[in-house]
Amino acid sequence: MTALEPPLALLAELTHRCPLQCPYCSNPLALEKPANEMPTADWLRAINEAAGLGCLQVHFSGGEPTVRRDLEELVAGATAAGLYTNLITSGVALDAKRLTSLTAAGLEHVQLSFQDSGAEIGERIGGYEGAHAKKLATAKLVRDAGLPLTANFVIHRQNLHHLTEMLDMAVAIGAHRAEIANVQYYGWALKNRAALMPSRTQLEEMTATVAAARARLEGVLVIDYVVPDYYARRPKSCMGGWGRRFLNISPSGKVLPCHAAESLTGMAFDNVRQRSLAEIWRDSEAFNRFRGTDWMPEPCKSCDRKEIDWGGCRCQAFAITGDAARTDPACGLSGDHARLVELAAGEAEAAADGFVYRRYGAG
């Protein structure tokens, strides 16, 4: 096995509390209650340990991280530890006073999520009336504060016809970067797959629109584009490989190799309140389970891409086959691939449009 490198970034999921109800929520099925959230001192220690391990960035996320009243303290702690700080927010609960105090604490970047380019569809998806105007106001505050802004759009069958408008809106609000990410189907999103899955033709149109926009907006807007795995020929290198580049800490302090790892039933995750982050990164059973290439089955084991995509996504393999140790079904070489493609095409055609919303407090 190759030598273990330090993680590049920490995703600090401060809370699962969230005012939005998105049907593709990536948080685990069992949400953490506020009483189980790590207190400030434990978060500060974990952030310092991450910096000590070699992490360069911390992404404060959730749920909605701004519901934590100690966010300024955590940003200040991360800044003092030399980490680049990014806030990932829905923007519906952020006012000028709060943004000023976060900026004073050292906040360096904001990623603002939008559910669509307009209020009607966006507010139906997020299940929050009045969200769109609040998000636009937050974008202005962020730019007025001189912070760089990324606009995040999760895209799917019910909003993909607004892709061009989303990119134009990103430019209009002063974003430097837009992330257009197709829904990834594990956890809660699996419940809504039939309402969200695009068809192959829609995917091809989306990809062409992104290519044209990249040419049109060169030097104005950087566009990151995450395609839906179900129509891929080869899988994405999820998280840059399990336990290679990233670590996540859940609201209660569980240290996870990816944000969806808790969907893998039967795996145990160490808690940063009980063990140091360095020890967990290096020695924990969960991080070592799918690290590197030794765990791989065929066809990955003898594949020349095994150190490029690291066998794809463990959470997707589990969601589709019930076995996290199988080759990612998004790979055309996987024995499960045909079933995945059939499933995607069937659900795209069925054209269901009702959502099972994700309501915090309702499970």
- Least distance in angstroms from the C-beta of 184 to ligand SF4: 16
Q: Give the C-alpha separation, 340 to 101, whole Å.
A: 47
Residues 299-318 that bind ligand FES (CB under 6 A): 313-315
Residues that bind ligand SF4 (CB under 6 A): 234-235, 299-300, 303, 305-306, 309, 311-312, 327-328, 331, 333
- Compare residues 75 and 261 and give the one whose CB is closer to ligand FES: 261
- Compare residues 176 and 305 and give the one whose CB is closer to ligand SF4: 305
The string of DSSP letters for 19-69 reads: S---TT--S-SSPPPGGGSPPHHHHHHHHHHHHHHT--EEEEESS-GGG-T
When binding is defined by CB under 6 A, the residue of 78, 260, 286, 300 that contacts ligand FES is: 260
- Least distance in angstroms from the C-beta of 328 to ligand SF4: 5
Does 319 sit near ligand FES (CB under 6 A)? no
Does 258 sit near ligand FES (CB under 6 A)? yes
Does 247 sit near ligand FES (CB under 6 A)? no
User: Is residue 160 within 8 Å of residue 146, measured between CB atoms?
Assistant: no
Q: Is 235 exposed, middle or buried (0-12, 13-18, 19+ CB in 10 A)?
A: buried
Helix H or strand E encompassing 151: strand 149-155
- Compare residues 121 and 325 and give the one whose CB is closer to ligand FES: 325
- Compare residues 80 and 325 and give the one whose CB is closer to ligand FES: 325
DSSP structural state of residue 208: H
The string of DSSP letters for 80-121 reads: HTT-EEEEEE-SSS--HHHHHHHHHHT--EEEEEESSSSHHH
Residue 154 C-alpha from the chain's centroid: 10
Does 239 sit near ligand FES (CB under 6 A)? yes
Does 163 sit near ligand FES (CB under 6 A)? no
Residue 251 C-alpha from the chain's centroid: 15
Does 110 sit near ligand FES (CB under 6 A)? no
Residue 328 near which of ligand SF4, ligand FES, none (CB within 5-8 Å, type-dependent): ligand SF4
The residues of the shown chain that bind ligand FES, judged by CB under 6 A, are 238-239, 242, 258, 260-261, 313-315
